[in-house]
Structure 1
C-alpha cells in the first residue's frame, strides 16, 4: 500500500502549538461556563443569535486540527507497514473509542439514577476514567502479557459499568447515546473524513469536492420539500455530521496546501494559497448567511466556514512564527497537552468527580466575575501542569 502524499515524517511544531492552544482555551471556557456575570463575548451565543464569539470557535478548532493530523497519521501507518485492512481497523478502533467515551461522559451529565445504580455518579465516573486510562494508556514496559492484562481489566470494567448504569425516574433506562457528546461528534467526523481522504487517495481537488459536498448535503437535508421523500428524509438528522466533517476536511486541505511537497512550492506561495482558502470560505459563508445564520448549536455551514477560516489564518501566523522565524521556545508549555490531548481533556472531569466524592467545593467567589475569570485562567494552566506531571509518570493516553 503506497502513501498518498509527500509529507514530512517529523512533527510539525506549529500544528502541535495550535492543538495545545486550543486545549488550553477549551479548558478555560469550560470552567468559565459556570461563572456568573461574565461578558457576552466570553459565552456561547444562543442558537438563534446569528453570531459567534471566540468560545464558539473552540470546538471547530479541535475538529480542524484533527483534520490537519489525518494525512500525517495515515502516511505514518502506511510507512510502518500497515496494509489496507490494518489501516481501516486502526481508524475504526479510534472512532469507536471516541464514540464510547462520548456516550459514557454524556450519560454521566444528566438522566442518571444514582439510587438504581447503587452508587453515586461521581464514583461511577471515576471508575470509568480509571478504565479509560487502563485501556488507552501508552505502556512503556516490555512485558506484553501485563499490558494485555491491564487493558483487559479496563475493557471488562467498561462493560461492567455500562451494565451498572441506570437512568430515568424509575431507573429502568440503560446506557444510551442521548447525544454523542463532544468526543463522539469528533469520532464520527474523524471516521467519515478519513474514509473520504482514502476514497479520493489524498487528492486535493477530490477533497475540495468532498468539502463542497458537505455544504450541499446540509442544504439538501434542510429542504422541507425533500424531507417528505423517504429516501432523503434521513439526511435531516445527519446535517450536523456533514458540517463537522467539513471542518475536519478543511484541516486536511490546509495540511496538504502547506506540507505536500509533491510539487515544489515556495513558502510564500503556500501561505498565499492558504490565505486564499480562508478568503474563499469567508466569501461562501457571507453568501450563505442570509439563508443559514451563524449558529454553533445548529451546526450551520456559515459557522463552520467562518470557524475554519479563522483556524486557517491563525495557523498561517503560527507557522510563520514557529517554523519560519523559529520562535518556538514558548511552545514547550503546550507540548504535553498537544501530544496527549485526551488525557488533558478528561483531567477537569476527574477533578470534579473526585472533589464531589471528598465533599470538597471551590469557594463561591470563584464562580462570580471578575474573580471567576481569573480563576478560569489559573485552572486551565493548572490542568496543563497536571498533564505535564502525569506525562512524567508515564501516563499518556492514545486512541
Structure 2
C-alpha cells in the first residue's frame, strides 16, 4: 500500500463525477444550438476568459486525479506486484488513447472512400467498445474473452477500412488525441508521479509546480522557435497533468488517514490549498491569459480551484452532514462513467443511421436549451437501466 486511504466508495467523489458527466452531456448537446448566450459557450482560444463550459474538461481531469490513489492502492491490496500494476496502467492509458483517436476521426470520415456511412461506422465502433471493455459476469471466462476478441477484431477492421478527408486518402491517425486521449496522457504521467513520490503530498505539490513550469518554459522563443521545439508537444499534457495532480492532492488531504487531517486542520489545509491556487492563477494571468484551448496555467489553476471548492461543498453535504439522498440520480453515471460518456454519441449516430432527426425548433434558443437539459437527464436514466442490464464499461 502507498497511502492508508478511507475504505469503501466515497459517495461525494461519485456524486462529483456524476454531476460533471451530466453537465458534460448538456454542454456537448447545447453546443449545436443556435442563438444561445455567450456564457453557455466555450470561450474562443484568444479570449482572456472562461465560462462554466470550460471547466467541464478540467473537472474530469481533477476527478481522475482524485481516483488514482484509490485505484492504485486497491490493486496493491488485491495482490498486484509492481509490474502487474504498470501493465494495468499502460493498458488503461492505451484504451483511452485508442478511444480518443477513433472518436476524433469519426467526424472526418469519407463515406464513399470508406465504403460505409459515417453513422454505421460510428455505431459499429461503439459496439466494439462495449464488447472490449464491458465487465462480464460469465462463469466461463473463455466466453468473456470471445466477446472481447470479437470487439478487438472489429476495431482493427474499422481502423483498416477507414478513409477520411474530402479526397478520402487519409487514414486513421491521431490528428489530435481527443478528450479521452488527453485524459489518458495526463493519467499516465500522474500515475508515474504518484508512485515515484510514494504518495507524499509534498512531492505531488512540487510536481504541480514542475508541470506548470514546464509549460511556461516551452512557451519561450528559444524553445518554441528553436531546435528544442519538439518539447512544446508535451506542454499541453503537462498542464493537464497539473490539474490531475491537484485532484490527487485533495484526495490525500481528505482521505489519507496517515495525514490525520480532521476538523479545523483539514479546513485550514484545504483552504490554504485553494488560496494558493487562486493566487498562483492571478499571478500567471497577465503573462498567460485564461484559455482552455491553449491549456494555459491560469486556466488550469482557476479550474482546479473551482473543483476544490465544489468538491469541498459536496463533501460537507454528503460525508459530513449525510445529506445524500439527492445524489441517487447521479450515482449510475458516477459508477459507469465511460458508458455515460459515449452513450450520447451512440444515440446520436443511431438516430442518424435510422434517418431520425429532431425538429428545427429544438436547435435554436430556449427550446433547444430545454431539450438539451431533458436529453442529459434522459441519458443518466438510460445508463441506470443499462447498469441493471449488466452493461458496465471499465478500462
Q: TM-score, normalised by structure 2?
A: 0.98
- Taking the aligned partners of 2:214 and 2:80, their CA distance within structure 1 comes to 32
Unaligned runs of 5+ in 1: none
User: CA offsets per residue over residues 77-127 of structure 1, 9 Å max, x none?
Assistant: 0000000000000000000000000000000012x2110111001101101
Which of 349, 353, 363 pairs up with 1:353? 349
User: CA offsets per residue over residues 109-158 of structure 1, 9 Å max, x none?
Assistant: 12x21101110011011011110000000111211010010100001110
Q: Are the equivalent residues in 1 in contact too, given 2:5–2:70 (CA < 8 A)?
A: yes
- Taking the aligned partners of 2:296 and 2:54, their CA distance within structure 1 comes to 12
- Taking the aligned partners of 2:66 and 2:302, their CA distance within structure 1 comes to 17
Match in the other structure for 1:87:
85
Which of 310, 323, 326 pairs up with 1:327? 323
Query: Matches of residues 55-74 of structure 1 in structure 2 within 5 Å?
Result: 55-74=53-72
- Taking the aligned partners of 2:293 and 2:277, their CA distance within structure 1 comes to 20
- Taking the aligned partners of 1:210 and 1:219, their CA distance within structure 2 comes to 14
Query: Matches of residues 222-237 of structure 1 in structure 2 within 5 Å?
Result: 222-230=219-227, 232-237=228-233
Match in the other structure for 1:99:
97
The SS at the match of 1:265 is coil
- Taking the aligned partners of 1:9 and 1:98, their CA distance within structure 2 comes to 27
Match in the other structure for 1:309:
305
**Alignment size in residue pairs:** 395
Please say if 1:181 is aligned against 2:174.
no
- Taking the aligned partners of 1:183 and 1:263, their CA distance within structure 2 comes to 32
Q: Are the equivalent residues in 2 in contact too, given 1:61–1:308 (CA < 8 A)?
A: yes
- Taking the aligned partners of 2:248 and 2:236, their CA distance within structure 1 comes to 19
Please say if 1:295 is aligned against 2:308.
no
How far off is 1:221 after superposition? 0.3
Match in the other structure for 2:377:
381
Please say if 1:337 is aligned against 2:330.
no
- Taking the aligned partners of 2:263 and 2:77, their CA distance within structure 1 comes to 26
Q: Are the equivalent residues in 2 in contact too, given 1:138–1:397 (CA < 8 A)?
A: yes
Q: Are the equivalent residues in 1 in contact too, given 2:254–2:261 (CA < 8 A)?
A: no
Q: Are the equivalent residues in 2 in contact too, given 1:106–1:180 (CA < 8 A)?
A: yes
Q: Are the equivalent residues in 2 in contact too, given 1:9–1:76 (CA < 8 A)?
A: no
The SS at the match of 2:306 is helix
User: CA offsets per residue over residues 295-352 of structure 1, 9 Å max, x none?
Assistant: 0011000000000000000111100000000001111111110010000011110011
- Taking the aligned partners of 2:41 and 2:170, their CA distance within structure 1 comes to 33
How far off is 1:271 after superposition? 2.5
Unaligned runs of 5+ in 2: none
How far off is 1:229 after superposition? 4.6
The SS at the match of 2:365 is coil
Match in the other structure for 1:249:
245
How far off is 1:187 after superposition? 0.5
Query: Matches of residues 263-274 of structure 1 in structure 2 within 5 Å?
Result: 263-274=259-270
Which of 145, 160, 163 pairs up with 1:163? 160
User: CA offsets per residue over residues 354-375 of structure 1, 9 Å max, x none?
Assistant: 1111111011111111111111
